[in-house]
Amino acid sequence: MPDSSRESASAVASRCVVAGAGPGGMVLAYLLSRAGVPVTLLEARGDFDRDFRGDSLHPYTLELFDRLGLAGRLLCLPHHRARYFRFHTPSATITPADYGKLRTRFPYVALMPQARFLGFLAAELEQLPNARLRTDCTVTGVTTDPGGRVTGVRYRDGAGHHELAADLVIGADGRFSRLRRAAGMTADSLGASTDLLWFRLPQRDTDPADADVDLFFGRDHYVGLLTGTEGRQVGYSLPKGGYPAAREAGVAPIRAAVAELVPWLADRVHLLTDFSQTTLLSVDIARVPRWWRPGLLLVGDAAHVISPVGGNGILMAIQDAVAAANRLVPALRADSPVPDAVLAAVQTDREPAVRKVQAAQVRTEQRVAAARETGRPLVSKALLTVLTALPGARRRAARANAYGPHPPVLDPDILDRPDTGDDDSVRP
C-alpha cells in the first residue's frame, strides 16, 4: 500500500478529488494524474482486501493497460486465463463464447483477485507526482458554493473531520455510494429477481482442464463457477430476498444442489460447513437519471449498478474512466471550473452502452423469475443450441462480452509521458 500520511489542515485543495479506489476510481485517478492533473484519491477502507468482488479483466482492459505500458507487469501477477464461457444444462454443455477466437493480443479474460489488481494500480499511482492516494478516509459530505455548485468534500480519518476543496469531485465509491447520497442523487432500480451466495472451494488436479467461467443450470437454482488462482469461486443463486430462508435451512441444501449440478465438486462440498464461509451479493440493476451536477460527476456503480451476470461490472467502470478522462483532461488542464457541458458529455458518451448492457441483464432477470414461477428450466437448451450453431456465434458473443457496446478509445494525448514506454514482456 502507498503511504497514506495525513494532513491535519482542512484548507488543502486539489484540482480533482476522486472518492472510491475501486477499479473505476483507481483507473480514472491514474489517467488524470498521468495527464498532468493533480488528483487526490480517497478510499474509506485501509486496504483492498474485498473477497468475492469482480475478478474479471476483459481483453478491452488488458489492451488498455498494454497501451499504458502496464500490461506486462500486471500479467506477471498470478492470474487464470479463461478462454471459454460455458452453459451447462442437465442434458448438454454449450459454449456460447470462445475468447480464443478473438483477434487480439489477449484472447482471454484474466481472472485476478480484485485486491491484487487494485494493489498493483495503487503502486503505479504512487509513482505519479500529481497523485495522492489516502486510505482510511471516509467521505461524509460535499461542500458547495452559494449557487449550489459542489466545491469539495468533507471526509473523516483517524485524525478527525476535514474538508478538501476541489475544482471537480468524482464519485466512484460503488453501488452504495456515500457521495451520491451526500449530493442528493438517487439511483432508480430497474429490477432484479436474484441474489447470489458466494463461497470458495479448493481446486484439484483432477478437475476438468477446460473449466474457466461456467454456469450450471438446474430447475430452481443455478451455480456460477469461476476458476482462479486461489481455488474455485462458487456462486449459488437465491430468489431475491431469499437469504433469511436459506440461512435458516443451513448449508446442507446448498451442498446438495452444488453436488447435483456440478458432480465433480461433490468430493469437496462437505468443506462448506457454515454460513460464515459465505458472502451474500445482493444483485441489483439501477441507474441514476443524471450522473452529474455542477462540480460533481458519478462513474461506475455509483452512477449505474451492473449485475454480476456476464462479469462486466469492472469493464463498464473502466470504460467510464476512459470516457471521463477523454473529456475531463482538457477541461482540468484549463485554469477554470469544469463546464457542466463537459460533465453532461461524459454521460452522453457512456449511457447508451450502459443502457444496452442493463437492458440485457433485466431481460435475463425476468426470464429467471418467470422460470421459477412456472417451474420451467432456467435456461432453454434448444435456444442455446440454435444460437451457438450460427456461424461465428462464439466469436461474436466473446467480442460482445470482451469489449462491451460502444467501447471508448483512450485519447492519445493522455499517453504522452516520456518516462513511460511500452512493455513488451507480455505474450498471449
Residue 212 confidence (pLDDT): 87
Per the structure block, which three cell numbers stand in for 302? 455509483
| Bridge partner residues of 154 (DSSP) | 141, 163
Residues in contact with 184: Cβ distance below 8 Å, sequence separation at least 6, in sequence order: none
Residue 339 confidence (pLDDT): 97
Evaluate whether 44 touches 198 at the Cβ level (below 8 Å). Answer: no
Evaluate whether 86 touches 385 at the Cβ level (below 8 Å). Answer: no
| pLDDT above 70 for 379 | no
Residue 97 confidence (pLDDT): 87
Residue 5 confidence (pLDDT): 38
Instruction: Give the number of other CB atoms < 10 A from CB of residue 180.
Output: 23
Query: Max alpha carbon distance in the chain (Å)?
Result: 66
Residues in contact with 228: Cβ distance below 8 Å, sequence separation at least 6, in sequence order: 55, 80, 111, 112, 113
Q: How confident is the model at residue 2 (pLDDT cuts 50, 70, 90)?
A: very low
Per the structure block, which three cell numbers stand in for 334? 484549463
Regarding beta strands 279-281 and 194-201, do their DSSP bridges make them parallel or antiparallel, or are they unpaired?
antiparallel
Evaluate whether 82 touches 25 at the Cβ level (below 8 Å). Answer: no
Query: What is the percentage of the chain residues whose pLDDT exceeds 90?
Result: 67
| Bridge partner residues of 213 (DSSP) | 85, 226
Q: How confident is the model at residue 145 (pLDDT cuts 50, 70, 90)?
A: very high
d(CA 225, CA 37): 41
Instruction: Give the number of other CB atoms < 10 A from CB of residue 253.
Output: 12
Residues in contact with 367: Cβ distance below 8 Å, sequence separation at least 6, in sequence order: 378
Residues in contact with 46: Cβ distance below 8 Å, sequence separation at least 6, in sequence order: 4, 135, 136
Per the structure block, which three cell numbers stand in for 389? 450453431
| 395 three-state secondary structure | helix
| 403 three-state secondary structure | helix
Considering the entire predicted model, what is its pTM? 0.90
Flag the least confident range among 195-209, 284-298, 407-421. 407-421
| 41 three-state secondary structure | strand
Residue 384 confidence (pLDDT): 58
For residue range 103-141, list pLDDT tens digits in order: 999 999 999 999 999 999 999 999 999 999 999 999 999
Residue 370 confidence (pLDDT): 74
Q: How confident is the model at residue 10 (pLDDT cuts 50, 70, 90)?
A: very low
Instruction: List strands edge to edge, sheet with 304-305.
Output: 188-189, 286-287, 304-305
Residue 377 confidence (pLDDT): 59
| Displacement of CA 41 from its chain's centroid (Å) | 18
Query: Mean pLDDT over residues 139-168, rounded?
Result: 95
Q: Report in angstroms the alpha-carbon separations of 208 from 214, 278, 416.
A: 11, 24, 45
Evaluate whether 18 touches 125 at the Cβ level (below 8 Å). Answer: no
What is the CATH T-level fold of the domain 13-190+285-415, as seen in this structure?
A: FAD/NAD(P)-binding domain (3.50.50)
Residue 6 confidence (pLDDT): 39
Report which of residues 332 and 419 the model is more confident about: 332
| pLDDT above 90 for 246 | yes
Query: Mean pLDDT over residues 385-401, rounded?
Result: 75
For residue range 247-258, list pLDDT tens digits in order: 999 999 999 999
Evaluate whether 228 touches 113 at the Cβ level (below 8 Å). Answer: yes
Query: Mean pLDDT over residues 340-363, rounded?
Result: 95
H helix runs in 185-312, sequence order: 243-249, 252-261
Query: Mean pLDDT over residues 134-162, rounded?
Result: 95
Per the structure block, which three cell numbers stand in for 192? 432484479
Exposure string for 286-316, b = 16+ CB within 10 A, e = fewer? bbbeebbbbbbbbbbbbbbbbbbbbbbbbbb
| pLDDT above 80 for 278 | yes
Residues in contact with 279: Cβ distance below 8 Å, sequence separation at least 6, in sequence order: 51, 52, 197, 198, 199
Side-chain half-sphere CA neighbours of 193 within 13 A:
16
Residue 390 confidence (pLDDT): 62
| pLDDT above 80 for 375 | no
